[in-house]
Structure 1
Amino acid sequence: MSETTAATIVPRHALAGGLILTGLILQVAQFTGLFPLAHAVSYCLWLATALLWVDIPRRTRRQAGILAALGLGLLVMARTWHGARIDWPGILDGNTYVVAMLVGVSFIGLIGNLRGRSRPAGKALTGARGVLGTWLGVHLLGSILNLSTVFMVGDRLERRGPLTTPQLLGLNRGLSSAALWSPFFASMGVVMTLAPAMHYAIILAFGLPLAMVSGMLTVGELSRRFELADTAGFSLSPRSLLMPVCMAGLVMLFHYVITPTLSIVSIITFLLPGVALLSNLPRGARWTLRRVHQHTLNRLPAMRSEISLFLCAGLLTQGLSSFITAATDSTWTLFAHFGPLEAVASFLTIVLSAVAGLHPIIGVSVLASMLDLDAGQQTLFAFVGLASWAVGTSVGPLSGINLSLQGRYGVSGTTMMRHNLGYAAVMALLVVVSIIGLDAWL
C-alpha cells in the first residue's frame, strides 16, 4: 500500500479494522481456556459493525437491521410472555465463532502473491467441465475445510471477473451437499449431539451417494439453463489443489493429533492466520507486520457486509431459539412414533422453514426437543437432520453459505433461493426416497 493510499484511510475504518483483528485474537485466546471474558469477542465485532454501519450497502444494511430487530423483539417476548431467563450480556454472541473463522480465512490473501499481484493460474476449465470442477473442488475440500473453501475457490474464480450465476450456484451446491455425509460439518456435530446413538456408517452409505447425485444434477441442470461456454470453473490440477490440500492436511493433523478437543471451525480460525504469518516471515518481521497492518486497514473493514449479516442473523437465532424453548417447555412429544412418514413430514417442514428464512439448525433443534427417540430411531432422525440441512442451506436465503456469498460477492440471497428452488425440489424428492429406504434398512 502506498503512502497516498495510507493517508486516505478513514480513521473510523482503521478503528473498526483494529477491533475486528482484536476479536479474532481474543477468539483464538479463548481456545487456550485462559481467557475469562466470554463476551469480549462479540463486543469487539459488534462495535466494529456499528462503526462501519453507514458504509454497508443499503440492501444489506436493511436486511441486517430487520434480522437484529426481530431477534431482539423475540428475546423481549420470551422474557415478558413466558418468563424466560435471558442472558442479556450474551445475546450478541450468536455466530461470533463463524465470524471469527471468516476473519481468519481472510488471511489466505497473505499466503503467496508476496508482491501483492493476483494472477490467474493457467487456462481455466470452461463449460460443463468447469462447473463440475467447481462443484467437486468445493465439495471435496469443503467436506474438511467447510465454509473457508468457498472463499478459497470463489476468490480464485473472481480473479478472472465477477462471479456469474452458474459459478455461484456451483459454490453453493458443492458445499451444502457435503452436509449429507461429512463428519467435519457443523451439521454432523449438531446431529451427533442430538442423536448420540446414530450409526455413522449407515448415514455415510446413504448420504455420500446422494451427494454425488447432487453434483450430477447440478452439472446437468446448469448446462441446460445457462450458456456455459465462457464460464470458468475451478481446475482440479495439482497446482490449484496444492494450497487447499496442504491446508486440509494441516487441519486433519490438528483435529486428530495436536488439538483433538477443538472443532474444525476453531482450528481453521487460528490455523489459517498462523500459516499466513509463517509464509511471510521469511521476508522479515517488519515485512510481515506491514502486511498485517495493510490487511487490517483495508481487507477487514471491507468485510463489513458479511460480518453484519452473520452477527445479526446470530441475534435472530438467539431470539428465536429462546422464544421457541420458552413457548414449548412441556412434556408432550410431537410424534408417538418416529417412522418414515413422520421423518418425511419433519424433513419437508424444516426445508420449507429454511425457504422462509430460518436456518435448518433451528428446525432440527426444535424437532429434537419435541421427540423422545429410542436408539433405533436416532439414525433416521440424524439423516433427516443432515438432509434438511443440506437442502435447506442451499435454498435458504439466510443460510450460512448464502449469507457468505451475499456478503462476499454481492449476490442477493433471494436470487440464490430462486435459482435453487428447482434443484431443492428434486433433491427433496430424492431425500424422501432415501428416507423410505433407510427406514426399511433399519
Structure 2
Amino acid sequence: MPLRHALAGVLILLGLVQQILTFTGTVLLPHGVGYALWLATLLLWRDIPYRTRYQAGALAVIGLGMLLTANWHYGADIDWLAIASGNTYVVAMLVGVSFIGLIGNRNDAKRPLGRPVTGKRGSAGTWLGVHLLGTILNLSTVFMIGDRLARRAPLTTPQLLALNRGLSSAALWSPFFASMGVVMTLAPEMEYSRILAVGLPLALLSGLLTTLELSRRFDLTEIAGFSLSPRSLLMPVAMAALVMLFHFQLTPGLGIVSIITFLLPAVALASNLPKGPRWTLHRVRQHTLTRLPAMRGEIALFLSAGLLTLGLSTLVAAATGSEWTLFARFGSLQAIISFLAIVASAAVGLHPIIGVSVLASTLELTGHEQTLFAFTALASWAVGTSVGPLSGINLSLQGRYGISGYHMMRHNLGYALALSTLVVLALLGLDAWL
C-alpha cells in the first residue's frame, strides 16, 4: 500500500473525528474538517477514476472561478479560509456511515442470503424499504440496502433506480430530511400538516409509478429486491430507533445528519469491543487504511460540488443584491414556474438547494404563501435530486457503485416528467386549499 494512501486514510478519519468534536463545541482547528478532507483528496487524486476526476476537477475550477468573479467584479467579501468547508458535513456523514462494515464479523458476508425476492414485489420492496427507513436514516439507508443487494451481484440499473427514487421521494414529506430543515428555515410559518397531507400521497404515487415503470422497461425476473422480512430489517430498524432516541431524548439539539455521523461509528466500535480492544483497534486500522481511501471518488465529488455551490450562491447574491423581488405574489402559477425552473437547473447539474435558496432570497412571502413555497421547494428537491447528475444520491451511487450520474439522469427523465405532472396538479390543489 502506498504511503500516501495510508496518510489519506488517517486524514479522512481525522476529518470525521474533528466533525464529531464540533458537536460538543470543541474546535481543534477552524475549518479543519475541510482541510483534512481536501488534503486527503489531493493525495488520492491520481487514483480517482478518470471520469470522476474530470468531473470533480471541473466543478472545483468553476466554483473557484465564480468566487473570484464575485470578489473582483462585484466586490463580494469572501472568507477564503472557509471555502474548503462546503459539503464537509455530508462527507463526514458518509465516512461515518462507512463504519457499518465493521458491525458484525467478517463471516457475515459469506452467509447464504436465501432465496431472493424478485419481480415487481422485489422492486417495490427496495423502493419501500429505502423510502420508509430513509425518512429517518437519510442517505445511510441507501448504503445499508444497496450493499446488501450488492452481495449477490453488482447492482443493476433497475435496482439503482429503485434506490434513487425511494430516497429522493422521501423529501416530499419527511420531517427529518435535509430538505425539510432548509425549508423550515426559509419558511418558518409553513403548515406542516398540509405539507404532509399532500406530500405523503404523492410520495406513495411515485413508488407505484416506479414499480410499474421498472417492470415495463426491464425484465425483473432475476433482479433481486430488498425483502421486508424481520431479519433484513433488523439492523436498519434498530439504527432508526437509536437515531430517534438521540434526536428526541439524548441530543435534541443535533440534526439527524449529525446524529448519524457519530452514532454509526460508535455502534460499530461497541459491536467489536466484546472481542477485546486489540481486535477493535485492528479492525479500525484496517478500515482506515483500506476502506476510507477507497471512498476517494465520492469524497472528491461532494467536496467539489460544495465548492461549486458556494461559488454560485456567492456570485448570484453579489450580482442581484437583496432589493429585487422576483414575484409580487406567490400563487400556483408562480409556484409551478419556480418548480420547473429548479428541476431544469438540477437536470443540468445544479443541486436543488441552490435554486431553492436563490428563489427564497428573491421573494417576500406572507401568510399561506410560505406553505405553498415550502411544498414547491420540497417537490423541486424530490424530483431534482432523482434526476440531477450531481445530486447527493447520484453522487453517492456513482462513488459507491460506479454508475454514472448522467446514466441515472437519462433513465430518470421519464419518471421526472411523470412525477412533475403530478406535482403541478398538487400545487394547483394546494393553492386552492390554502
TM over 0.5: yes
Query: Which residue number in structure 2 is paired with residue 173 of structure 1?
Result: 165
Give the letter for the 2:123 counterpart: V
Preserved CA contact (<8 Å) 1:120 1:159: no
Give the letter for the 2:100 counterpart: I
Report 1:143-222 matches (<5 A).
143-222=135-214
Query: Which residue number in structure 2 is paired with residue 79 of structure 1?
Result: 71
1:328 shift after superposition: 1.2
Query: Matched residues in 1 for 2:42 and 2:145: separation?
Result: 30
Preserved CA contact (<8 Å) 2:103 2:271: yes
Residue 86 and residue 240 in structure 1: after superposition, are their counterparts in 2 closer, same or farther (change >3 A)? same
Report 1:14-413 matches (<5 A).
14-35=6-27, 37-115=29-107, 117-413=109-405
1:420 shift after superposition: 0.2
Query: Matched residues in 2 for 1:120 and 1:386: separation?
Result: 40
Percent identity reads 72
Query: Matched residues in 1 for 2:303 and 2:98: separation?
Result: 17
Query: Matched residues in 1 for 2:110 and 2:255: separation?
Result: 32
1:89 shift after superposition: 0.3
Preserved CA contact (<8 Å) 1:119 1:159: no
Preserved CA contact (<8 Å) 2:322 2:361: no
Give the letter for the 2:259 counterpart: I
Deviations 1:367-393 (Å, cap 9, x if unpaired)?
A: 000000002210000000000000000
TM-score computed with the length of structure 1 as normaliser = 0.97
> Which 4+ runs in 1 deviate beyond 6 A?
none
Preserved CA contact (<8 Å) 1:27 1:97: yes
Query: Matched residues in 2 for 1:202 and 1:121: separation?
Result: 42
Preserved CA contact (<8 Å) 1:100 1:269: yes
Query: Matched residues in 2 for 1:394 and 1:379: separation?
Result: 23
1:116 shift after superposition: 6.6
Preserved CA contact (<8 Å) 1:114 1:280: no
* Counterpart secondary structure, 2:321: coil
Query: Matched residues in 1 for 2:44 and 2:326: separation?
Result: 44
1:182 shift after superposition: 0.2
TM-score computed with the length of structure 2 as normaliser = 0.99
Residue 226 and residue 116 in structure 1: after superposition, are their counterparts in 2 closer, same or farther (change >3 A)? closer
1:34 shift after superposition: 2.1
Aligned residues: 434
Runs of at least 5 residues in structure 1 that lack an aligned partner in the other structure: 1-8
Query: Matched residues in 2 for 1:307 and 1:110: separation?
Result: 20
Query: Matched residues in 2 for 1:387 and 1:344: separation?
Result: 10
1:398 shift after superposition: 0.4
Query: Matched residues in 1 for 2:83 and 2:324: separation?
Result: 28
Runs of at least 5 residues in structure 2 that lack an aligned partner in the other structure: none
Preserved CA contact (<8 Å) 1:118 1:159: no
Preserved CA contact (<8 Å) 2:387 2:412: yes
Preserved CA contact (<8 Å) 1:180 1:387: yes
* Counterpart secondary structure, 1:371: coil
CA RMSD of aligned residues (A): 0.8
Preserved CA contact (<8 Å) 2:109 2:151: no
1:160 shift after superposition: 0.4
